[in-house]
Structure 1
Amino acid sequence: MDSVILSRMLFGTSMAFHIIFATLGVGVTLMILFAELMHWFKKDSDYGLMAKRWTKGFAILLGVAIPSGTIVGVMLSLLWPGFMEIVGKVIAVPFQIEIFAFFLEAVFMSIYVYAADRLSHMMRIVSVTFVAFGASSSAWLINIAHSWMNTPRGFEVTDGIVTDVDPWAAVLNPSMPYTSKHVLATAYMTGAFVLVSIAAYRLLRKTSSEQERAYHKKGLMLTLVIALLASIYTASNGHATAGMLHEEMPLKLAAAEGLFETQANAPLAIMGTPNIEAQTVVGGIEIPGMLSWLATGTTDGVVQGLNDFPQDEWPPLFVHTLFNLMVGIGFTLLGLAVFALAWAIIFRKKDLPAWLLVALVTTGPLSMFGIEMGWIFSCTGRQPWTIYGIQLTSDAATQSGNVGMLFFLFIGLYIMLLVLTALVLRFYFSRNPVQQDLTVMNG
């Protein structure tokens, strides 16, 4: 198999694995902060216990996130030497600053975990605020490089040589505000929905005591509110991103929607399969004018189609399916959060019905699947470019052999790490059940 394809497979698999832990590292730390704030505001010790237990889970996940992130960093250098040659000259700034963001997160995480019982409540809030800030800053800074790959700025290439480098122009590239905010919003949403899933699952268990059920109900309501807010912001930011794609990456937008001909009143195609011969999306549902409105703010806006670009520069058209899955999952999660909170408000004195709890259990896996689809769409929609319009993926990749063997070795490693992480989490929380902590806490 071609070394370029193998390099993409190996790096893509590594990113898909790491993104699970990186996303939860950002989202769960924010939820820990909100739990501490609720503990301080309501003087309810249940929220303090939530923060403590969520922190234990986060610490276990962090133990996998750090080495998997290191692997991704090493693979960038080994698998994409042509890409890294430009990166080192143009967009190294966010990588350098990210080291300090991670340092901030690690230091205050240590303080929060190991000295929490010796700190005042306000100092615990300050500590976990810095943890959440460090985690979010790391994600933002790393994503700057990703956004730059989509809309490269801050340099020129003359006869294959990088010249006229402006690092801050590279950092402040046109897609950076949109993609970075989107990454953070989806991470917050996913972290909240994963905790929604856990609380809903625990409430489905009839063996839980009333004291424990009250604890999980509080956790469910808190996480649902944050999940809803993050979902709404994610949807609004996604709308803004469509406008950015229209201006900066019209080919990617056309591929995402399966739009072949440039037109005003361009339709939004929901599902279906883009067919090159038929020059349309087969089996999809079209909403007239909606794509023009999303991209330009008016249904009369003109949206460029695929046929305006050379076909050898088209990304794989299955990105249309990836895009629809990502958006569909996002709106499904938003709808479930709205429905569950509305039910809880209307039937204030009643428990959520079992069928609704079952639906909420699915939200964590669904949100994580949506994150994976979003990252695959974002990277695949840029193909055949590594740096859009500047460097082809084939020019960025290594030409060395044995990448295929490494691919299978790392697949085995990632499967083993996933299984071990799940077992460690299950072992820890089965040995330290909520009821035991509630009993200790309440004397």
Structure 2
Amino acid sequence: MDHILLTRSLFGMTMAFHIIFATLGVGLPLMIMISEICYLRTKDSDYATMAKRWTKGLGVLIGVAIPSGTIAGVQLSILWPGFMKVVGEVIALPFQIEIFAFFLEALFLSIYVYGAARLSSRMRLVSVTLVAIGATLSAVLITDVHTFESTPQGFTIKNGQITDVDPWIAFFNPGFFTNALHVIFSAYMTGAFVLASIAAYRMLQHKTSPKEYNFYQKALMMTIVVGSISSLLTALNGHEAGQVLYRHNPERLAAGEGLFRTTAYAPLALGGIPDPETGTVKYAIEIPWMLSFLANNRFDTVVKGLYDFPRNMWPPLYIHSMFNGMVMIGGLLIFLPLVPWMLKKIYRYEKFPRWVLWCFVPSGILSVLAIEFGWIYSCVGRQPWTIYRIQLTKHAATATENVGIFFVLFLGMYLLLCAATLVVFRYYFKRHPLASELAGVEVKE
């Protein structure tokens, strides 16, 4: 395998693993915070139990996210020395601020977990709110470095030397706010639907008692409402993200949509296989004029096609499938929660039909897949650049040749961590069944 491709694959594998735990580490604190709010308003101990059990799960996930994130940081320095030189001189600010965001999250998570028995319900809410804020800020700050790679500014390079550095201009690059919101909304969506998936699955099990069923039904209703709203906000924000691509990364927009010829009234291609020889997307379903509208809010907007750029500057065309997968899953997750709501309104169901619950079981996995597809689309779509139109990937990568050995070693380690995570979850929740907690939950007022 090509050395550069292997280096990218190793770091890509690390990020694909880490992003699952990091995303849930942002989404779950929001759900815990909402459950604390529900308990504070209703005094229903089921919501206190939700917060307690979800917090245990969050602790396990953060326990994996921290070492995997540390590995990603080390790999950045080892695998991408050329890129890290620019980071150190131009865009180190988000990394520095993120230390304080992580400290905020870790401090108040410790207070929330270990001081729960001594805190009032209001102070628990304050603590978990600060956990959610810290986790969200961490995600936004780390993502800002990634956004800078696509919309770099705040410095110039003269004769190979970095000059005229303004770290705040680099920090607030053109894609900052749009991508920050996209990361936040998609993380909230993922956290909600993963919990909805678990609740729906438990409701389908015949051994679930009526009291447990009622508990999971409350959890399901809460999570699908948050998940649906977050999915809708992600989609609306995605429209703005498409406009950022139109203005700053036209090659990625064209590759993602399989658009080869510059055209006005450009159609949106769903599905299909991009064919650079014919300049079409085979087997695609086209929505007339929609790409032009998404790009600039006008149906007659002229959108640049890939033929306007040198072939060696094209991103890999398979990102079209990544973009389609992300969009279709996101659309499904917006409308899926409407099914139980409509059934409840029309047929006055007290319990959802089993087929409805089965629809929600895969929603957690689908939301995680949407995150992975979006990350691949964003990172691979920037190729062949590490810093768009400034630094090529081949100039940023390490010259070390034995990357393949590390790829195998890290793959084995990630598989081991996945297995260990599942074992810990199974062990803990088997030792602490829901029935016993519902029977004896103790909450300090």
> Which TM-score band applies after superposition, normalised by the shorter structure?
over 0.9
User: How far apart, in 1, do the equivalents of 2:359 and 2:176 lie?
Assistant: 34
- In structure 2, the partner of 1:425 is 425
- Aligned with 1:342: secondary structure? helix
Q: Which amino acid aligns with 2:196?
A: V
Q: Which amino acid aligns with 1:86?
A: V
- In structure 1, the partner of 2:276 is 276
Q: Which amino acid aligns with 1:374?
A: G
- In structure 2, the partner of 1:369 is 369
- In structure 1, the partner of 2:16 is 16
| 1:442 Cα deviation from its structure 2 partner | 7.9
Matching of residues 321-332 of structure 1 within 5 Å: 321-332=321-332
Q: TM-score, normalised by structure 2?
A: 0.98
- In structure 2, the partner of 1:97 is 97
- In structure 1, the partner of 2:46 is 46
- In structure 2, the partner of 1:34 is 34
- In structure 1, the partner of 2:216 is 216
Matching of residues 71-82 of structure 1 within 5 Å: 71-82=71-82
User: Contact 1:4–1:394 (CA<8 Å) still a contact in 2?
Assistant: yes
84-93 or 327-336: bigger deviation:
327-336
- In structure 2, the partner of 1:153 is 153
- In structure 1, the partner of 2:135 is 135
User: How far apart, in 1, do the equivalents of 2:344 and 2:403 lie?
Assistant: 53
Q: Which amino acid aligns with 1:393?
A: T
| 1:160 Cα deviation from its structure 2 partner | 0.7
Task: List 4+ stretches of structure 1 deviating above 6 A.
Answer: none
| 1:4 Cα deviation from its structure 2 partner | 1.2
- In structure 2, the partner of 1:227 is 227
Query: How big is the alpha-carbon RMSD for the aligned residues of Structure 1 and Structure 2?
Result: 1.1
| 1:256 Cα deviation from its structure 2 partner | 0.5
User: How far apart, in 2, do the equivalents of 1:63 and 1:139 lie?
Assistant: 16
CA-to-partner distance for each residue in 1:163-184, whole Å, 9 max, x for gaps? 0001011011111111111011
Q: Which amino acid aligns with 1:434?
A: L
User: How far apart, in 1, do the equivalents of 2:423 and 2:205 lie?
Assistant: 20
- In structure 1, the partner of 2:405 is 405
User: Contact 1:224–1:341 (CA<8 Å) still a contact in 2?
Assistant: no
User: How far apart, in 1, do the equivalents of 2:341 and 2:98 lie?
Assistant: 37
CA-to-partner distance for each residue in 1:96-149, whole Å, 9 max, x for gaps? 000000000000000000001100111000000000000000000001101000
Give structure 1 stretches of 5+ with no counterpart. Answer: none
CA-to-partner distance for each residue in 1:402-443, whole Å, 9 max, x for gaps? 110000000000001001101110111111111110011289
| 1:255 Cα deviation from its structure 2 partner | 0.6
User: How far apart, in 2, do the equivalents of 1:442 and 1:123 lie?
Assistant: 16
User: Contact 1:221–1:341 (CA<8 Å) still a contact in 2?
Assistant: no
- In structure 1, the partner of 2:61 is 61
User: How far apart, in 1, do the equivalents of 2:339 and 2:66 lie?
Assistant: 37
User: Contact 1:3–1:398 (CA<8 Å) still a contact in 2?
Assistant: no
- In structure 2, the partner of 1:305 is 305
- Aligned with 1:352: secondary structure? coil
The percentage of aligned residue pairs carrying the same residue is 55
| 1:338 Cα deviation from its structure 2 partner | 2.0
User: How far apart, in 2, do the equivalents of 1:182 and 1:344 lie?
Assistant: 31
Q: Which amino acid aligns with 2:254?
A: A
| 1:349 Cα deviation from its structure 2 partner | 4.0
Matching of residues 275-294 of structure 1 within 5 Å: 275-294=275-294
Q: TM-score, normalised by structure 1?
A: 0.99
User: Contact 1:254–1:306 (CA<8 Å) still a contact in 2?
Assistant: yes
- Aligned with 2:300: secondary structure? coil
Q: Which amino acid aligns with 1:14?
A: T
- Aligned with 2:115: secondary structure? helix
